[in-house]
A = this chain, B = another copy of it.
Amino acid sequence: MATRSALERARSALHLRLLAAQRRLTKDRRGAVIVLGGDDRLAASELANQLTEWFDARTVRICAPDDGAAEGRPFLWPYWQDVPAQGRITIVVGDWLTRTTIAAAREELAGESLRARLKSLRAFEELLAADGTAVVKVWLETPEKTLRRRLRDAEDTDAEGWVVTDEDLLLAKKSSLGLARALRAQGSGKNLPWKVVIGGAETKLRDLHAGLVIAAQLNQASRRRPAVAAKKPSGRPRGLLESAAPHPTLDKKGYGQQMAKLQARLGRLSRLAAQKGVATVVVLEGPDAAGKGGAIRRLCGQLDAAHYRVHPTPAPTPEEKARHYLWRFWNKVPAPGRLAVFDRSWFGRVMVERVEGFAKEAEWARAYGEINDFEARLAEAGTIVLKLWINISKAEQLRRFRSREDSPHKRHKMTAEDYRNRKKWDANLRAAEDMIARTDTPHAPWIVVSGDDKRYARVATLKAVCRALSDRLD
C-alpha cells in the first residue's frame, strides 16, 4: 500500500510537470512532436492514451498513419499531415523508425534504400527541430520474455479482434532488438536521440517512467534552439536569367498547330498516368506578369477535370502560418495518378520571404536543403516533379502591366503591390538565380522558359511537361 501511494504521488507530480511543459510550449509558440516507438505496439497505444489524459487534451492530437489513405504517398506524408501548430502537441504512434525497423527486418529495405530512408528520417527530425518544434522520442523496449507473455495473453483473451499482428511478432524477435538499436542510432537527427524506456508488466510504472523522460526532454528542448548552420548561397551563377539575346517567338499559326498537338499529347499522357497511378507535380514560378496563369490554363485546357488540380499560392492563412512553411504543400501532394500544378509554391520561402525579410536569413538559407529533401521524398514515391521558371525581361513586364491596366478582361490581375515588387527586380532576380542553382536536382530539375513571347512560353511549358511524362510513361 505504501508503494502504491508513492507511485500515485509521483504520477500526480508528473501530471503537473507535463501541464507546465505544455503551458510553456504555448507561451513560447512552439509545437511538440512526441514519438512513441518500440517493440510493444499495445504499450505505445496505452501510453498515448495516458498522455492525452495528462496533457490538456484540447491541444493534443494523436497521429497514427492509416495505410489506406497513405497508399502511394511518400513515406513521411502522414506525419506531415499532423505536424503540430505552434503551442500544439502531436503524439505519434506507428512512428517512422518502428515502421522502418519492420521494413528492414523483412528486408523490404536494405543497403542503399535503407540508407536513404534513414537519411530522410534524420533530415525530417532536424527540419522540425530547426523550426522550433520540440522533438521527443521514446522507445519502449520490453524484455523479450515479458513481451511474449503479453502477446500470448492478448491472443488468448481476445481471439476475435486480431490484437496481435505479424508485425508485433516480428518486433518481438530477438534479432529485431539489435536491428532496432542500430537503426535508432543511424536514423536520428543531430541531438535528437531516442530515449529507451524499459517496458514491463506494470503499466502505471512504465507510463510514469516514460512521462518523466518526456517531461525532461520537453524542458530541455525549451531551453535551446538548435544552432542552425546553413550557409548563404555564395558564388552564385550570375547571368543565368539575364541575357541580351532576344527571346524566341512563335507566330500565331505555328502556335495554334503546336498547341493543339501538344494538348492532345498531354491529354493522352495524363490518362496514361491516371491508369498507371503516376502522380505529377508541376511548379510554375517567375516574375509578376510572366504569364504563369495563362501557361497553366493552356497546360490543363484539354485535361480531364478530374485528373488535375491547380493550386494558387496566396498569403498563408493563420493555420498555415502556425506551422512549418512546407506543411501546406505537403497537404496538397497529389494522389497517385493525379497532376498538381502549383502557381507559385514553396519557393516563396527563398524568393518573396527572403527578399521582403519575412524569413530570417537562417530560415531561408536552410530552406534550400529542406526543399530538396521535400522534392526527393516526392520523387522517391514515384512522383514526377518539374519546375519551370518563366523568364521575362524587365521591359516586357512593364509593357504587360500597362496592357493589363488598359484591358477590362485583365484589370483584376493588377494590385497595388505589383509596382512595389517591380522596384525589387534586381533582388528578386538574384534570389531566383540562387534558387535555381541550389535546387536544380536530377529528380526535380528546373527548366527556364523564355517568356517575353507568350505563345512561345506556353508551347515550351507544354513541351517540357509532355517530355517529363513521356520519359516516364512511354
Q: Which residues of A contact B (CB under 8 A)?
A: 12, 15-16, 19, 23, 42, 44-46, 48-49, 52-53, 56-58, 61-62, 64-66, 68-69, 91, 93-94, 157-158, 160-163, 264, 267-268, 271-272, 275, 293, 296-297, 300-306, 309-310, 312, 314, 317-319, 335, 338, 343, 408-409, 412-413
A408 to B23, CA, bound (A): 13
Which of chain B's residues has its CB closest to A72's CB?
B68
Q: Are the C-beta atoms of B409 and A23 separated by less than 8 Å? A: no
Chain B residues closer than 8 Å to A314, beta-carbon distance:
58
- Tell whether A93 pairs with B301 under 8 Å between CB atoms, given A158-B268, A275-B162, A409-B15: no
- Tell whether A57 pairs with B312 under 8 Å between CB atoms, given A161-B275, A305-B64, A306-B66: yes
Chain B residues closer than 8 Å to A56, beta-carbon distance:
412-413
- Tell whether A306 pairs with B93 under 8 Å between CB atoms, given A15-B409, A412-B56: yes
A56 to B409, CA, bound (A): 10
Q: Are the C-beta atoms of A58 and B312 separated by less than 8 Å? A: yes
Chain B residues closer than 8 Å to A23, beta-carbon distance:
412
Q: Which residue in B48, B58, B309 is a CB contact (below 8 Å) of A62? A: B309
Chain B residues closer than 8 Å to A338, beta-carbon distance:
66
A355 to B415, CA, bound (A): 42
Chain B residues closer than 8 Å to A310, beta-carbon distance:
52, 57
Q: Are the C-beta atoms of A335 and B409 separated by less than 8 Å? A: no
A-B contact pairs, 17 of them (CB 8 A): A12-B409, A15-B409, A19-B408, A45-B303, A49-B303, A52-B310, A53-B297, A57-B296, A58-B312, A58-B343, A64-B305, A64-B306, A66-B306, A66-B338, A69-B335, A161-B275, A162-B271
Copies of the polypeptide in the assembly: 2
Chain B residues closer than 8 Å to A301, beta-carbon distance:
49, 53
A319 to B301, CA, bound (A): 29
Which of chain B's residues has its CB closest to A50's CB?
B301
A272 to B160, CA, bound (A): 7
Which of A52, A302, A306 is packed against the most chain B CB atoms within 10 Å?
A306
Q: Which residue in B94, B267, B335 is a CB contact (below 8 Å) of A161? A: B267
- Min Cβ gap A288→B in Å is 13
Q: Are the C-beta atoms of A49 and B302 separated by less than 8 Å? A: yes
- Tell whether A16 pairs with B408 under 8 Å between CB atoms, given A45-B304, A62-B305, A93-B305: yes
A300 to B158, CA, bound (A): 18
A58 to B301, CA, bound (A): 16
- Tell whether A161 pairs with B305 under 8 Å between CB atoms, given A23-B412, A409-B15: no
A296 to B58, CA, bound (A): 12
A338 to B68, CA, bound (A): 12
A335 to B66, CA, bound (A): 10
A52 to B302, CA, bound (A): 12
A296 to B60, CA, bound (A): 14
- Min Cβ gap A156→B in Å is 13
Q: Are the C-beta atoms of A160 and B49 separated by less than 8 Å? A: no
- Min Cβ gap A78→B in Å is 11
Q: Are the C-beta atoms of B160 and A57 separated by less than 8 Å? A: no
Chain B residues closer than 8 Å to A57, beta-carbon distance:
293, 296-297, 310, 312
- Tell whether A160 pairs with B268 under 8 Å between CB atoms, given A45-B304, A297-B57: yes
